[in-house]
Structure 1
Amino acid sequence: MQALVYTLIGLAAAAIGATAYFGLTFTPAESILCAIVFGCVCFVLLERTLRQRAEARLEKAIEDLSRLLATDAQAGAVLGQRINALSDINAGSRLEGVEADISVLGTVIRQVAEAVAEMEEKVTQPARGGAHAVHTSVLVPPVPEREPIISTEALRQALAQNRLIYHIQPLVSLPQRRTQAYELVPRLMLEDGDLAEAADFLPRRGAVDLVSLVEGVALVEAVTLARRARSAGKAVSFYIPLTRASLSEKASAEQVMASLEANRAIASSLIFLVPEREWTEFTTAERAIADSIAKKGARFSIDRITTLRVNVAELAAQGVQSLRIDAASFIATPEAFTDFHASDIAGYLARFEVKLVGTGISGEGQIVELIDDGITLAQGPHIAPPGPIRPDLFLEAVPQLRRVEA
């Protein structure tokens, strides 16, 4: 198109030169000069027009590019905000929650399938005695608590003579059997030098002042050991017995709170061991004291669990760190404790950061069963019996503890 315009300019310049030569009687030189001047003027005007058009297109392209860059900048800012939002999301915990829900759903489906299969089997089998067998839930029989053989007066006299001592029993992780914590076990030294177990001298009813005194001594021992472990650079937790006796009396409760307040640095190493029966019978005032203990940094572990059909989220909110269950009973009749499959209950509790502890381990077979069920914390005489407290005992391994007792 531009070549055609140049051709037309050349023809027009030639026509101007011919007109000047023939019509205006210019000389040939003047006619040629006139044609050249006309052609140059037309060429300059054409180039100026083309340059203006090119500049206009360039300005428009720059404006479009600026608009695109602004849009990209906005998109980048939105993307940055979304990336920051994603980085703040704890995807790991959400994935763990989803996995736990999937595991629970799978357990429920399996249990439904087993129940349907059991019902179909019962329907197909002939009825005995004119009635179908009725499925009944297995209940864990309560363990009878024997009465102490040492009288209250004898216990009061022994405490006055400082014959109460505390041994410690380790709680280990499976399968490595590394010591994770120690439980303080009260024992009473008799006049003949023998040691009486807690079941032989702790009152079951009444004598609240004696029980709170025994538990207060345990707290002092635990604080001393925890401070010693912290000074040695070791993170060791200690289980301390606690009952309503220490929470119902104002003086003993204040003493517990004062000890925790003075030892906030090691409060996370103190775990109060509360029997299930005591935990469920807490009054409103006692529950408030337990909540204050949890706010100080200490935790709770519920002992002698008879059922795992509990509100785990509520227990975790109240500062419960673990549930202790008799290993032999759980392995023999897991359906008596929970509606979950035995291999799923530990993972379900772990979703709320609550651990399941198998206690009373008496054989290697029980350890294998607990590992198969996902229970990674255990305690019992087969692992290590309660032993005396030595300055370096809580820093040693469990096999060394058993060798000392042997």
Structure 2
Amino acid sequence: MLPVHVPMAIDPVPLSLLAASLILVLGLGLQAILLIAARHRRLARQIAYLARDQRELRNATDLLGQRLDEIVSLGGDETPARDLTEVVAEVRVLQTLIEELWTRKGDGAEGGAPGEDEAELAEAEILPPSAGGRRVLSAARETDDPMLNPREILEIVREGLRNNRIEIMMQPTVTLPQRRVIHYECLSRIRTKTGLLITPDHYIGIAEEEGLIGAIDNMTLFRLVQHVRRHRGPMAESRFFCNISNRSLEDAGFFEQFSDFLTANATLAQSIVFEFAQEGFPAEPSPIRDKLLALSEAGYRFSLDHITDLDIDPEEFAALGFKFLKIDAALLLSYAEHEPPLLDIGLLKGALDRVAMDLIVEHVENEDILLRLLDHPVDFGQGYLFGGPMVEGRRPR
């Protein structure tokens, strides 16, 4: 009988150990690869942040360099277009602005993802109406996107300041009932990388909380001064209204620079009116009131806006240098048309006339509101009926 060969059974335990070992080795290898990749991504982000910061610093120093070039040109053979003290004052304002931006970086590198290289945005210059020419105005896109969260808006504000994306737009103020354009309100907007304009309603509160509102006011004032000097209007009575946050007034450093700059540039008093909100305006006595009084003695005039309480003493504000009172059309009409009337606009206008203050009614958005207003004595109107915030005359930087 032939022998029968019985195959030996293979023990499954070593095979399972071998498979487990292979899986462990593969897992450790994959984990190492992922760690290396993550490290490379962090290094790439850090390099991108450094490149972005380099571009931001270059933009800021370019602005300062332009001012310094003007100082150097004052020593040449050409007749200086501006006084040396004016240019030096602008340099001080820009230097303070640059220092403030770089000492308040906030969250630092973790604040947002690095962006790709961006094309230089055109600088928007808002031109006044020419005496004989036709104005070509274009409204820029503004965003009311509710999906922007506070962190995103804060990053937009910081990036806008560092990359010189604070733009000014002008909304006309007209005489009533003639509708003749006489003044302009300067409205600041922050342009995003995609070209949208962020309105103050979105960023003012966040900027105040983060201590950046002084930088915004500073840059807005600087841009407005550039505009006034380049395109000073032919009408001597025309004024450009510039909003200054009450939070900025409380900032001693800002107000000192603000006062020094305006004092060194007293000729601007003929063209610029500074607006302050009623809410939060310092009550008497206050060092801020004393400083405003000093500016009014240098020829500057002020406007009170964002009024919510019509119990106002015109003599008190006129003594500080206030020349204008801005009241929302809906608020004014709600008081005047109440039964019985809560306010006699004629009496208010008479009190303003006695102290040489003018009444501007804002947010006049349609003809119906205008017709109701014309039943009362008002000096000026402002709103979309007469023209919204507009920008024109784009030129490359």
TM-score interval for Structure 1 and Structure 2 normalised by the shorter chain:
0.5 to 0.7
1:177-326 matches, cutoff 5 A: 177-203=179-205, 206-207=208-209, 209-230=211-232, 232=234, 234-280=236-282, 284-326=286-328
Residue in 2 that maps onto 1:44: none
Change (3 A) 1:231 1:263: farther
Change (3 A) 1:384 1:282: farther
- Root-mean-square deviation (CA), in Å? 2.9
Q: What one-letter code is carried by the residue in structure 1 that aligns with 2:226?
A: T
Which digits, 9 at most, give the CA deviation of each residue in 1:76-104, with x for residues without a partner? xxxxxxxxxxxxxxxxxxxxxxxxxxxxx
Matched, 1:388 2:391: yes
> 1:222 Cα deviation (Å)?
2.6
> 1:223 Cα deviation (Å)?
2.1
Change (3 A) 1:239 1:199: same
Question: Helix, strand or coil: the match of 2:205?
Answer: coil
Matched, 1:353 2:360: no
Aligned partners of 1:237, 1:216: CA distance in 2, in Å? Answer: 19
Q: What one-letter code is carried by the residue in structure 2 that aligns with 1:165?
A: E
User: May I ask how many residue pairs the two structures share in their alignment?
Assistant: 247
Aligned partners of 1:231, 1:274: CA distance in 2, in Å? Answer: 24
Aligned partners of 1:280, 1:347: CA distance in 2, in Å? Answer: 26
Aligned partners of 1:211, 1:376: CA distance in 2, in Å? Answer: 31
- After alignment, is 222-231 or 161-170 more displaced? 222-231
Residue in 2 that maps onto 1:341: 344
Aligned partners of 1:154, 1:282: CA distance in 2, in Å? Answer: 37
Aligned partners of 1:389, 1:347: CA distance in 2, in Å? Answer: 38
> 1:369 Cα deviation (Å)?
2.0
> 1:193 Cα deviation (Å)?
1.4
Matched, 1:370 2:373: yes
Residue in 1 that maps onto 2:160: 158
Aligned partners of 1:282, 1:210: CA distance in 2, in Å? Answer: 27
Aligned partners of 1:384, 1:282: CA distance in 2, in Å? Answer: 37
> 1:176 Cα deviation (Å)?
1.2
Which digits, 9 at most, give the CA deviation of each residue in 1:240-290, with x for residues without a partner? 111233222233112211221222123132111101013245872222222
Contact 1:170 1:384 in 2 (8 A): yes
Q: What one-letter code is carried by the residue in structure 2 that aligns with 1:357?
A: I
Aligned partners of 2:235, 2:326: CA distance in 1, in Å? Answer: 28
Contact 2:156 2:192 in 1 (8 A): no
Structure 1 gap ranges (5+): 1-145, 392-406
Contact 2:241 2:275 in 1 (8 A): yes
Residue in 1 that maps onto 2:92: none
Contact 1:167 1:388 in 2 (8 A): yes
Aligned partners of 1:317, 1:357: CA distance in 2, in Å? Answer: 19
Structure 2 gap ranges (5+): 1-145
Aligned partners of 2:149, 2:369: CA distance in 1, in Å? Answer: 30
Change (3 A) 1:157 1:209: same
Aligned partners of 2:361, 2:334: CA distance in 1, in Å? Answer: 13
Q: What one-letter code is carried by the residue in structure 1 that aligns with 2:266?
A: R
> 1:210 Cα deviation (Å)?
1.3
Residue in 2 that maps onto 1:329: 331
Aligned partners of 1:210, 1:237: CA distance in 2, in Å? Answer: 27
Aligned partners of 1:304, 1:331: CA distance in 2, in Å? Answer: 15
Aligned partners of 1:364, 1:250: CA distance in 2, in Å? Answer: 44
Change (3 A) 1:169 1:229: same
Runs of 4+ in 1 over 6 A off after TM superposition: 335-338
Which digits, 9 at most, give the CA deviation of each residue in 1:39-71, with x for residues without a partner? xxxxxxxxxxxxxxxxxxxxxxxxxxxxxxxxx
Aligned partners of 2:226, 2:348: CA distance in 1, in Å? Answer: 35
Which digits, 9 at most, give the CA deviation of each residue in 1:339-386, with x for residues without a partner? 542333223311211111111111112212222211120101121000
Q: What one-letter code is carried by the residue in structure 2 that aligns with 1:151?
A: I
Aligned partners of 2:244, 2:335: CA distance in 1, in Å? Answer: 28
Aligned partners of 2:342, 2:331: CA distance in 1, in Å? Answer: 15
- After alignment, is 148-157 or 330-339 more displaced? 330-339
Residue in 1 that maps onto 2:74: none
Aligned partners of 2:327, 2:233: CA distance in 1, in Å? Answer: 33
Given candidates 168, 171, 183, the residue that maps to 1:169 is 171
Aligned partners of 1:245, 1:277: CA distance in 2, in Å? Answer: 11
Which digits, 9 at most, give the CA deviation of each residue in 1:211-230, with x for residues without a partner? 11111122222322333344
Contact 1:274 1:302 in 2 (8 A): yes
Q: What one-letter code is carried by the residue in structure 2 that aligns with 1:360?
A: H
Change (3 A) 1:329 1:249: closer
Contact 2:207 2:213 in 1 (8 A): no
Question: Helix, strand or coil: the match of 1:177?
Answer: coil
Q: What one-letter code is carried by the residue in structure 2 that aligns with 1:312?
A: P
Question: Helix, strand or coil: the match of 1:383?
Answer: coil
Q: What one-letter code is carried by the residue in structure 1 that aligns with 2:360?
A: V
Contact 2:153 2:202 in 1 (8 A): no
Aligned partners of 2:279, 2:362: CA distance in 1, in Å? Answer: 17
Contact 1:344 1:374 in 2 (8 A): no
